[in-house]
Amino acid sequence: MVNFPDDFIKYVSNDEHLGKELLKALDEVAPISIRKNPRKITPNFENNRMIEWCKDAYFLKERPSFTLTPLFHAGTFYPQEAGSMFLDTILRSLDVPTNPVVLDLCAAPGGKSTLIASFLDGRGMLVANEVINQRAKVLRENISKWGYANTIVTNNDPSDFNRLEGFFDLVVVDAPCSGEGMFRKDEHARNEWSLQNVSLCVGRQRRIVADVWNSLKEGGYLIYSTCTFNPHENEENVKWIEENLGGQYIDVSTLNTFVKGRNGVGNYGIPGRTETEGFYIAVIQKTSELGKRVTLGKNANKGLLRIKDTTPLKGWVKLENSSFFSWNNTILDIPTAWEKDYLIVQENLHIIKWGVVVGEHARKGLIPDHDLLMCHQLRENYASVDLQEKEALQYLHGDTFALESNISNGFVQVTHEGESLGWIKNIGNRFNNLYPKEYRIRMNIQ
């Protein structure tokens, strides 16, 4: 076990707020927790226990192999640290519009974004952003598998959101931090920690919030969080936001399970006192005056071609309340009610996932996309074949094998325990495995 940095031991030992048990608790095994997708069929984990501060969330008695659980790949649940799920309590306590426009600024790998998507449950619009390209691809995959149409995934620097003046009702910033709360499960984080790094993180966090502040509506909420314990990255940053950007801290009544921040500012998950990793979260309401809201520009639909005749899509996708566009031979679906807002985002940001990819135009008809099959809101009743666990894992591995003979020819959805995993194309004596190569299981499945 890697020892804690001396400066970390010193500051924790002298901080009565953190409690005497923290250092000991950081050397213990972390709790295992998941959050279920309420719109999909979830595997039955034995001996699970509900998490009281998040809907559809559970502690598991032991950690299964998520990779070798087929329904994990179908987006039926998400392994997420329990403390960060306190976001659900926060969201349900705020007075936000019925159909809010929400930004998750530092979103990869997708835990908070999928939680927000479940909270919205098809209402409003979610923009999930990640600045690092490779992490943004992971975010796109997890958002796709979670299966909501009212989502956009972007790959932008926080400063780019200045263009979207007064656009968001709610902004979530899970800021990059010194990672003290991850010391229990990431020994590498212990080696990287230093007082100098804490100071660098404070500056970075303030720049990130300042960069995105203009995109928040007056009266809108910023939810600020870190996975660290020190006041410099937490309570002092909340005070800095209030004094320098024009905001007011909003106290959120919490469960006794969580620990109020210093001087009552924010809420902590503290190992040894809460059944979580280290986590801090606070809410600031924007009070500064705002100019005009961003509007649709002349280049908003550049490269997009509206599909007026949706007859060829019938039977592939539910057509109600949707608008369809063609983009580089790909058919995209977005909620009609949010078309204008989607186009504003498309005009100003680098989008890597826009709504739902229905499929590609082809000479012989539509080639359906995996994204469509993952979206519980849009998919139709397709011809299907249900696989047992062994065959399901083979399919997710990218393999082919013999199937029952009475399966329809053409595109067929593969399911496991009734939940969609992906497409095959049955051509009579064999099938083509269409599960996306970048999603396939790479470990030994035997």
How many whole angstroms separate alpha carbon 333 and alpha carbon 317? 9
Distance, C-alpha 333 to centroid of its chain:
20
Rounded to the nearest 5 percent, the helix, strand and coil shares of the chain are 30, 25, 45
The CA–CA distances, whole Å, from 298 to 255, 302, 346, 348 equal 49, 8, 12, 11
- The residue whose two tokens read 């958002």 is 143
Residue 7: other Cβ atoms inside 10 A: 13
Exactly one of 54, 201, 227, 375 is catalytic; name it: 227
* Rounded Cα gap, residues 282 and 41, in angstroms: 33
Integer angstrom CA distances of residue 375 from 239, 382, 387, 414: 41, 13, 20, 14
Q: What's the Rg (C-alpha) of the chain?
A: 23
Q: Name the DSSP class of 244.
A: I
Peptide bond connecting 158 to the previous residue in cis, omega within 30 degrees of 0: no
3-state SS class at 170: strand
* Pairs from 200-206 (Cβ < 8 Å, separation ≥ 24): 201/175, 201/176, 201/177, 201/228, 201/233, 202/232, 202/233, 202/236, 202/237, 204/175, 204/176, 205/175, 205/176, 205/177, 205/233, 205/237, 206/237, 206/240, 206/241
Residues 6 or more apart whose CB falls under 8 angstroms from that of 260 comprise 254, 266, 267, 268
Give the CA angle between residues 280, 89, 71 to the nearest 5°.
95
Structure token pair of residue 382: 């397709």
In the residue annotation, 227 being an active-site residue is answered as yes
Q: Which CA distances in Å does 178 have to 222, 243, 280, 282, 393?
A: 21, 23, 12, 17, 38
Alpha-carbon distance of 72 to 77, in angstroms, equals: 6
Alpha carbon distance 214, 163 (integer Å): 8
Q: Which residues are catalytic?
A: 227
